[in-house]
Structure 1
Amino acid sequence: MARGWELVDGGVTRVDDLVLKPARPWTATVHLLLRHLRDVGVEQVPEPVGIRDGVQALRWIPGDCGPEAWRHQRDEAGVRSAGALLRRVHDATEGFEAPEGAEWAVRPTPGATVVTHGDPGPWNFVWRDGEAVALLDWEYASPAPALDDVAYAVDTFAPFRSDEEAQEGYGFDGPPDRLARLRSFSEAYGLGGTAGLVDRVVERQNATITRITDLAEHGHEPWASWVRAGYLDELRGRVRWTREHRHLVE
C-alpha cells in the first residue's frame, strides 16, 4: 500500500505501486479517458487511481520508458509494435464521450472522433524486450485527427533529426534508415501509404511550438520554464531540418 501522496521536489514520484504526478486542470478529463480505455479492454494504459490535494495517482506499469526506451526501438520490430499499439488505443477512444465542460490541455479539434495521445514518442511507451507494451503520460490528450499522433510518432521514431543527433541522443549505431522506419510504423498503424505524411510531420512540428507557447503563456509548468530556456528555438530548428531533408523520407 502507498505510504502517502506526496511529490518529491514537486516532480513525478513513485511510491510502491503508484506513480504520483502534479494534477493539472485537465487531469480529471484524462482520468475519465483512461478509465474508459481500460473498461473497453485496453490495459496498455495506466490505471487512474485518483486525485488528491493537487496530486494525481496512477498505477505503475513495469517496463522501460523515458531514457531507457531508446534501445528498444532501434530495430523495426520495436517500431512496428509501437505503431500497432497506437492504432489499438486510437480505435478504443472513438467511443469516449467527455462530459460537458471537460478541460483539455490542448484545444480539441471540432468534429474529431478520436482522442489523440499528443506525445507518443518512444519515451512515453513502456517497453519489454524490444516491444511496446503500454502508452504513458496522457497530459496532452485531446480530440484531434489521428494523423496528428501518427505524424508526431514518426517524427521521433524515424527520426526526423540529424545523423549526429540520432546517434548521440537516440542511441543509433549509425545513420538510421528513416524511410524504412517511417514505412514500418505507418504499415503497423494501418495506413494505406505514406503519401503526404512528411507534410503532416511539418504541420505537427509547428503545432508543437504553438502548443508549448500557449501552455507557457498560461503559466503552466514545465512549459513556461522550457520557453524561458529557449526550447522553442530547438523546435524551430527541427522544422527547418525536416524541410531541408525531406528527401531522406520520401
Structure 2
Amino acid sequence: MPARFQLWRDDQVAAAGALLRSLHEATRSSRLTGTSPIICHHDPGPNNVVFQQGRPMAFIDFDTAAPGDPLEDLGYMAWTWCISSRSQAPPPRAQADQVRILANSYGLETSERFNLVDAILDRQNHNALWWRQHLNTPEPRVADSEQILARIDWSRREHDHTAINRAVFMNALR
C-alpha cells in the first residue's frame, strides 16, 4: 500500500489522463509496439509522475514499459489516482466521478468505457500476482517479505472495494 496516500483534485486527475494519452499517442505506430497498439508505461501511478506546481507534467521510471493495450495503463491509472478502499478516501460515488474525469481527459471512446472497470480489476489482480511472485525470489528482493505481503493484501482489498462498487463505477462511465 502506498505510504503517501493522498486525494487528487479533479484537475490533477484530468491532467494525468491527458498526459497518459500523449504518451500513448507518441508510441502509436512505432516499430517497438510489435502487434500491440502502443507502448504502455505499466506503472503510471502518481509515484511515477513529475509534478510542477501541483500538475502532472512527465512520467518517470519506465523499467516496466512494454507493448500493450491502452486500457492496461488507463485501468492502473484509474485505480492509483481515483480509487481507494481507505477509510479516509471519498465515497465510491466521488471516486467514480473521478474515474469518469480521467476517462474523459484521456479521450476514451464510448465503446471502450465499459471495459475500463474490468481493466481496473485486472490491474489490481495483476499487481497482487506481481508481488506474490517476488515472495520466493532470492535476495536481494524488491522488498522484504512483510512489505510484499502488505502490498498483496492492499491489492486484494482494493480489488474487493472496486468489485463491490462495480455498478457505481459503471454508472459514472455511461
Task: Using structure 1 for the length normalisation, give the TM-score.
Answer: 0.57
Q: Does 1:162 align with 2:96?
A: no
2:15 to 54, 78, 81: 81
Give the CA RMSD over aligned residues: 2.6
Give the counterpart of 1:115 among 39, 43, 52.
Answer: 39
Alignment partner, residue 98 of structure 2: 181
Q: Do the aligned partners of residues 122 and 144 (structure 1) sit closer, same or farther apart at CA in structure 2, a change above 3 Å counting? A: same
Moved over 6 A (4+): none
Contact 2:15–2:105 (CA under 8 A) maintained in structure 1: yes
Larger-Rg structure = 1
* Relative contact order, higher structure (CA 8 A, sep 6+): 2
State the alpha-carbon separation in 2 of the partners of residues 245 and 150 from structure 1.
18
More helix by share: 2
Residue aligning to 2:62: 138
Give yes or no for the alignment of 1:234 onto 2:150. no
Whole-angstrom distance in 1 between the partners of 2:127 and 2:98:
22
What SS does structure 1 have at the residue aligned with 2:114? coil
Percentage of matched positions with identical amino acids: 28
Following superposition of structure 1 onto structure 2, how do residues 1-250 of structure 1 map, counting pairs within 5 Å? 67=4, 70=6, 74-98=8-32, 111-159=35-83, 161-162=84-85, 164-166=87-89, 174-175=90-91, 177-193=94-110, 194-219=113-138, 221-223=141-143, 225=145, 226-227=147-148, 229-250=149-170
Structure 2 counterpart SS, 1:132: strand
2: CA distance, partners of 1:207 / 1:232:
10
* Paired amino acid for 2:102: F
Aligned residues: 163
Q: How far has the Cα of 1:165 moved from its partner?
A: 4.4
- What is the deviation of 1:117? 0.7
TM-score by length of 2: 0.79
Where structure 2 has 5 or more consecutive residues not aligned to the other structure, the ranges are: none
Q: Secondary structure at the match of 2:156?
A: helix
Structure 2 residue matching 1:78: 3-state secondary structure = helix
Letter of the 1:237 counterpart: R
